[in-house]
Amino acid sequence: MTQLALLLVAAYLIGSISFAIVISRIYCLPDPRGHGSGNPGATNVLRTGKKSAAALTLLGDALKGVVAVLLAKWATGVWGLPGYVPYLAALAVFLGHLFPVFFGFKGGKGVATALGVLLALNIGVGLACAATWLLMFAITRVSSLSALVAAGLAPLYGYWLVGGVTETALLMLLSAVVLARHHANIRRLLKGEENIFR
Q: Are 86 and 72 in contact (CB under 8 A)?
A: yes
Per-residue pLDDT, 157: 97
Domain for residue 119, yes or no? yes
- Provide the domain limits for residue 92: 2-191
Domain for residue 153, yes or no? yes
Per-residue pLDDT, 17: 96
Domain for residue 91, yes or no? yes
CA distance 94 to 100: 10
Number of folded domains that form the chain: 1
DSSP symbol at 103: G
Domain for residue 94, yes or no? yes
Q: Are 40 and 18 in contact (CB under 8 A)?
A: yes
CA distance 108 to 185: 13
Per-residue pLDDT, 36: 64
CA distance 108 to 37: 10
Per-residue pLDDT, 50: 82
Which residue in 173, 67, 178, 175 sits closest to 120, CA to CA? 67
Average pLDDT per consecutive 10 residues, the chain (198 residues; last block may be shorter): 93 96 90 76 81 93 97 95 94 96 90 95 96 95 92 96 91 94 90 80
Per-residue pLDDT, 37: 67
Contacts (Cβ under 8 Å, ≥6 apart) of 59: 19
Domain for residue 197, yes or no? no
Helix (H, G, I), strand (E, B) or coil at 51: helix
Domain for residue 48, yes or no? yes
Residue 83: count of CB within 10 angstroms of its CB? 12
Domain for residue 198, yes or no? no
